[in-house]
Amino acid sequence: MVVHHGTTTSSYRHRTLPDEHGRFGEFGGRYVPEGLMAALLDLEEAYEIALTDHDFIEELTDLLRERIGRPTLLHKAQNFADLLAVPDVRVYLKREDMAHTGAHKINNALGQALLARRMRKSRIIAETGAGQHGVAVATACAMLGMACTIYMGSDDMRRQESNVVRMKLLGAEVRSVSTGGGRLKSAISEAVRDWVTNVDTTYYLFGTAAGPSPYPAMVRDFQTVIGRETRTQILASEGRLPDCVIACVGGGSNAIGMFHPFLNDPEVRLIGVEAAGRGMATGDHAATLAAGSPGEMDGAYSYVLQDEDGQIAGTHSIAAGLDYPGVGPELSYLKDSGRVIYRAATDTVALRGMRALSRSEGIIAALECAHAVGYLLDQAHHGDLPVGALIVVCISGRGDKDLAIAADLLDS
Ligand SMILES: *Cc1c(COP(=O)(O)O)cnc(C)c1O
């Protein structure tokens, strides 16, 4: 069988890190209570075996094609490139916003749900903050006919009511968590408690390339479909690799999924854009790699936004998906190795990016990836973009969820 989009078994297995301890250099690992260690090791083993199983990879590949609409487009954004006003610059957009459910999160949710079924788990649990991951998990569970429970902070449920309705329509049970301010952190604690109690029957589906091993590598592998497709598509349309690939960084899953297939191509500059919120100097941001320091959080050693006593800092971003004080361990490793460069874009820059892309290309992008778009506009206006550059930007999702925030933009 000929596979055109880099979705052979071997392409999922092409990796060198993490090591056998789940580490990317000094980052990663498993900082979890004893009760979870066995479950993580079981999961790792099941995952390693699944990766070598042709049937598993073929079923995932078929589902991604027939139900998610992959490969997503790589769209040549000529109007947007013209806005940059740099001669001969070409910009391509990787359109994860066109994947079913409107963002990249489904790539991971479906991959892990399939693994859960293979492991003969009868139910899937997950936690969600803004609800995007919860919707992706509920969708994957509906597709595969699996029971689904989503933990969500009570305050987040109030603020993200439409996603709660979506999850319920999709057949998920949404459990409200009102302890600790009713936010994501408490929802994670409750989900972990559920997992420890019901580990024999239950699969914990984590949403980004962070957390304890094996999640960072597993989520990355399911998201590398973004970068593998992009590589094939750009070679087909331009006959060469891009000079620069840009993606936004929250926990890091769309970024590492896009970057990983280019890691061994030193001529391709990889740029991760974090949320600078109200400005780096204000402290109201979520730029973990730009302003954080190594520490332990959510089961792994990685860059963290923390104060001198190791207290996790409060964060702010206009984009809910970037509003997180941690980041995946592999992106931390790639910071220290220098292979990936990290920059930060403010709320204002992101809104400018959202508006510019909407008007020039007819694409209303999610505020998360609008950070990458706004960053690129800024670079061009500061004269930092070389003539003739070939650039790919990952559009991680569509902006329907952000319309209430964007409404303020239209008034200003
Ligand atoms: C969740 C989300 C993100 C941030 O998550 P990563 O794991 O960093 O990719 C980015 N964009 C969109 C559209 C999201 O929904």
DSSP string, 67-114: TS-PSPPEEE-HHHHHHHT-TT-EEEEEEGGGSTTSBTHHHHHHHHHH
Question: What pLDDT is stored for residue 159 in this prediction?
Answer: 86
- Cross-strand bridge partners of residue 94: 74, 394
Which secondary structure element, helix H or strand E, spans residue 383, and what is its range?
none
Q: Do the domains 69-102+221-409 and 9-67+105-215 match in fold?
A: yes
b (16+ CB within 10 A) / e for 365-389: bbbbbbbbbbbbbbbbeeeebeeeb
Question: What pLDDT is stored for residue 411 in this prediction?
Answer: 75
Question: What pLDDT is stored for residue 15 in this prediction?
Answer: 65
Give the architecture-level CATH label for domain 9-67+105-215: 3-Layer(aba) Sandwich (3.40)
Ligand 1 atom closest to Cα of 253? Answer: 7
Summarize pLDDT for 249-292 with one digit per residue, the tens: 999 999 999 999 999 999 999 999 999 999 999 999 999 999 99
Distances (CA, A) of 412 to 134, 350, 355, 362: 32, 15, 12, 21
Ligand 1 center from residue 251 Cα (angstroms)? 7
Ligand 1 center from residue 2 Cα (angstroms)? 31
Ligand 1 center from residue 396 Cα (angstroms)? 6
Q: Are the C-beta atoms of 77 and 91 separated by less than 8 Å?
A: yes
Question: What pLDDT is stored for residue 14 in this prediction?
Answer: 52
Q: pTM for this one?
A: 0.96
Question: What pLDDT is stored for residue 233 in this prediction?
Answer: 98
The residues carrying an active-site annotation are: 105, 127, 396
Ligand 1 center from residue 268 Cα (angstroms)? 22
Question: What pLDDT is stored for residue 81 in this prediction?
Answer: 98
Ligand 1 atom closest to Cα of 210? Answer: 7
Give the pLDDT of the chain (412 residues) as one tens digit per residue: 333 444 444 466 556 899 999 999 999 999 999 889 999 999 999 999 999 999 999 999 999 999 999 999 999 999 999 999 999 999 999 999 999 999 999 999 999 999 999 999 999 999 999 999 999 999 999 999 999 999 999 999 998 899 999 999 999 999 999 998 888 888 999 999 999 999 999 999 999 999 999 999 999 999 999 999 999 999 999 999 999 999 999 999 999 999 999 999 999 999 999 999 999 999 999 999 999 999 999 999 999 999 888 899 899 999 999 999 999 999 999 999 999 999 999 999 999 999 999 999 999 999 999 999 999 999 999 999 999 999 999 999 999 999 988 888 777 6
Which residue type, as a one-letter code, is found at position 221? D
Give the architecture-level CATH label for domain 69-102+221-409: 3-Layer(aba) Sandwich (3.40)
Question: What pLDDT is stored for residue 6 in this prediction?
Answer: 42
Taking alpha carbons only, the member of 250, 255, 385, 238 closest to residue 305 is 250
The pick from 127, 208, 303 for probing ligand 1's pocket by mutation, whose C-beta has the most ligand atoms within 8 angstroms, reads: 208
End-to-end CA distance of the chain: 55
Question: Given CA atoms 274, 278, 280, 283 in this order, what sign does their dihedral have?
Answer: negative
The pick from 96, 98, 104, 363 for probing ligand 1's pocket by mutation, whose C-beta has the most ligand atoms within 8 angstroms, reads: 104
Q: What residues are in contact with ligand 1 under a 6 Å CB criterion?
A: 103, 105, 132, 208, 248-255, 321-322, 366, 368-369, 396-397
3 state DSSP class of 302: strand
Would you kindly state where each structural domain of the chain is located, as residue ranges? 9-67+105-215, 69-102+221-409
Q: Which two tokens stand for residue 16?
A: 């060198």
